[in-house]
């Protein structure tokens, strides 16, 4: 049997870590690709606009033209570099769109001579699609959509004015529609790629979370098997020794082994690996209510707002088990049902806490006078809740009744000390976590 336990406790060798496959698609990678593409697209269109710009140098005031050109070129280059190094990508692209809009709005006010304005598209028109594309990168989808329609319309309106060349309305409309279609295609592609990458990221995150949860559960199960095997060997050996103990020396040895077995049982009860799973407060309260309804006679019930929050599974099990043990103790030791009133109160505390109160008007007791061999209060209630991160307050007066208050999580006073009335586990308490055997609290 010991050999079997040793076999269980021997972990299998882990496989050598191999090279992790590269993620084929992610939101970060998609953002890098589309931002770099748009930046290169902007530089190429800027180069194509140079001939038109050179032919229209005499149309605008130098005080507007050269600062506008310098700022626009600098922002385009900055957006390209930001896309390469993945720093401030959205900000730099948004700046390009804002600079273009400012240049478009101020252009008609800096015409040097209307007679020099030709009936052809301004060089800014060649950069209009670049501006709508950078807006798709730098702005939110809603803001980019507004930009996509409003900026081409502004250009079309200016185009029909003398400062814009006095184009006919149909010609201006064609320019506007063309710009919206081309910019809209870029925006649709960007949006679809973003949504697809976001879906992949969510699916991968979900898969990783489920895998991690499965690994934690597997590790918890292995640890439980290991602990069970150790406890099984120790308890079985103790029972066999006790069965063969006929001499005083053998009985003393059996008693010592029994104490060691109880200590191991206590340690096993404390093993509660946190696998990250949670349970709703309402579910814990529902289990306690069901247990109270199954008592004979049932306890009076008062339930307040529990709230939608959750708590760790280990804490929920500890609160539930301690509440059931408190109800059992009251039914066994407080007095006859026709002479004693019993009640159960459950309500939420704070943002994600729970408090359970089990009370009666029965015989009462003094906690310090409870023999150490009585495990119901000391281990099954106080230590169990304390080990799960909560605390128990026992208010009992002989002849007047008992109120057991179970609360999770543990609360402290402003000075860092436990709240008044908090009952901590006694260091001299026996090492066991078995429920009360009915012989005492």
Residue 247: CB atoms within 10 A of its CB come to 9
Please choose, from the candidates 395, 390, 301, 291, the residue with its C-alpha nearest in 3D space to the C-alpha of residue 350. 390
Going residue by residue through the chain (441 aa), what tens digit of pLDDT does each one get?
334 444 434 444 444 444 444 555 677 888 888 888 888 988 888 888 888 888 888 888 999 999 999 999 999 999 999 999 988 999 999 999 999 999 999 999 998 878 778 778 889 998 999 999 999 999 998 999 999 999 999 999 999 998 888 889 999 999 999 999 998 998 898 888 888 888 888 888 888 878 877 776 776 667 666 656 656 666 676 777 677 777 776 777 677 767 766 665 665 555 555 556 788 888 888 888 888 888 777 787 777 767 778 888 888 888 988 888 888 888 888 888 788 888 999 988 877 788 999 999 988 888 777 766 555 676 678 888 888 889 899 898 888 899 999 998 876 444 444 444 455 554 443 333 333 333 345
CA distance 163 to 111: 7
DSSP H or E stretch at residue 199: helix 169-243
Please choose, from the candidates 136, 140, 165, 159, the residue with its C-alpha nearest in 3D space to the C-alpha of residue 148. 136
Rounded (5°) CA angle 73-146-75: 10
CA distance 247 to 159: 114
CA distance 416 to 420: 12
Cβ(388)–Cβ(272) below 8 Å: yes
Q: CB within 8 A of 313, min separation 6: which ones?
A: 275, 277, 278, 279
pTM value surpassing 0.75: no
Cβ(407)–Cβ(323) below 8 Å: no
Q: Please name the residue that has the structure tokens 């707002």.
A: 305
Cβ(384)–Cβ(433) below 8 Å: yes
CATH of domain 278-408: 3.30.565.10
Cβ(381)–Cβ(406) below 8 Å: yes
For residue 114, the Cα-to-chain-centroid distance in whole angstroms is: 63
Tokens of 29: 């990678």
Domain ranges of the chain: 27-204, 278-408
Tokens of 391: 């605390």
Please choose, from the candidates 268, 272, 306, the residue with its C-alpha nearest in 3D space to the C-alpha of residue 287. 306
CA distance 150 to 43: 23
Tokens of 284: 């814990």
Taking the CA of residue 143 as centre, how many other CA atoms within 13 Å lie in the half-sphere pointing to its CB?
Answer: 12
For residue 345, list its beta bridge partners: 302, 357
Q: Tell me the residue ranges of DSSP E strands in 51-177.
A: none
Cβ(405)–Cβ(395) below 8 Å: yes
């Amino acid at each position: 049997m010991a050999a079997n336990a040793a076999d269980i406790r021997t972990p299998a060798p882990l496989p050598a870590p191999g090279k992790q496959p590269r993620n084929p698609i992610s939101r970060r990678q998609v953002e890098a690709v589309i931002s770099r593409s748009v930046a290169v697209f902007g530089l190429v269109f800027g180069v194509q606009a140079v001939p038109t710009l050179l032919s229209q140098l005499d149309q605008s005031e130098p005080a507007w033209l050269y600062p506008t050109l310098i700022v626009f070129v600098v922002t385009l280059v900055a957006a390209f570099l930001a896309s390469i190094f993945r720093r401030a990508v959205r900000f730099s692209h948004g700046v390009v769109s804002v600079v273009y809009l400012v240049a478009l709005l101020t252009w008609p006010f800096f015409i040097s001579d209307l007679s020099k304005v030709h009936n052809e598209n301004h060089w800014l028109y060649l950069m209009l699609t670049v501006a709508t594309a950078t807006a798709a990168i730098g702005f939110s989808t809603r803001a980019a959509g507004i930009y996509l329609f409003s900026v081409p319309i502004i250009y079309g309106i200016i185009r029909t004015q003398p400062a814009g060349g006095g184009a006919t309305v149909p010609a201006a409309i064609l320019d506007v529609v063309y710009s919206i279609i081309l910019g809209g295609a870029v925006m649709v592609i960007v949006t679809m790629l973003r949504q697809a990458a976001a879906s992949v990221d969510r699916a991968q995150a979900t898969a990783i979370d489920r895998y991690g949860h499965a690994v934690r559960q597997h590790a918890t199960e292995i640890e439980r098997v290991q602990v069970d095997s150790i406890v099984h060997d120790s308890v079985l050996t103790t029972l066999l020794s006790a069965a063969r103990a006929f001499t005083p020396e053998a009985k003393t040895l059996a008693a010592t082994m029994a104490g060691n077995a109880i200590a191991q049982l206590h340690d096993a009860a404390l093993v509660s690996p946190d696998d990250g799973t949670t349970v709703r407060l309402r579910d814990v309260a529902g289990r306690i209510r069901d247990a109270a309804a199954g008592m004979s006679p049932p306890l009076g019930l008062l339930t307040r707002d529990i709230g939608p929050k959750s708590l760790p599974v280990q804490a929920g099990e500890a609160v539930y088990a301690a509440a059931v043990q408190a109800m059992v103790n009251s039914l066994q030791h407080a007095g006859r049902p026709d002479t004693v009133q019993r009640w159960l109160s459950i309500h939420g505390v704070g943002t994600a806490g729970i408090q359970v109160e089990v009370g009666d008007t029965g015989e009462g007791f003094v906690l310090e006078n409870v023999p150490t061999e009585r495990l119901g209060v000391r281990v099954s209630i106080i230590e169990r809740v304390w080990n799960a991160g909560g605390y128990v307050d026992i208010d009992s007066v002989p002849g007047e009744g008992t109120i057991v208050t179970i609360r999770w999580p543990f609360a402290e006073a402003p000075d860092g000390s436990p709240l008044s009335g908090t009952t901590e586990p006694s260091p001299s308490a026996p090492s066991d976590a078995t429920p009360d055997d009915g012989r005492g609290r």
